[in-house]
Amino acid sequence: MSNLRFVADVHVSPLTVTALKLQGYDIVRSTDLLPATAADAEILEFARVDGRIVVTQDLDFSMLVALSK
């Protein structure tokens, strides 16, 4: 399996995360490591520090990434 690591935003179903884990993906839900009320910017910072790719359905993330360069 790939060495890519993922973090799923709160909007991604826990069932999806479980299915991806069963397929061998290194994925965690943001709510497993951060408060459920964590802001998008906090999730992005966690992903950056932990070397993970954010999986989300939230369109705000693309704006945050663009603004942060």
Give the tokens for residue 10: 């709160």
pLDDT the model gives residue 4: 96
Helix (H, G, I), strand (E, B) or coil at 1: coil
Is the per-residue pLDDT at 68 higher than 80?
Answer: no
Round to whole Å and give the CA distance between 27 and 65.
20
Q: For the whole model, what pTM was predicted?
A: 0.83
Is residue 61 within 8 Å of residue 9, measured between CB atoms? yes
pLDDT tens digits along 15-37: 999 999 999 999 999 999 999 99
Provide CB contacts within 8 A for 24, sequence distance 6+: 1
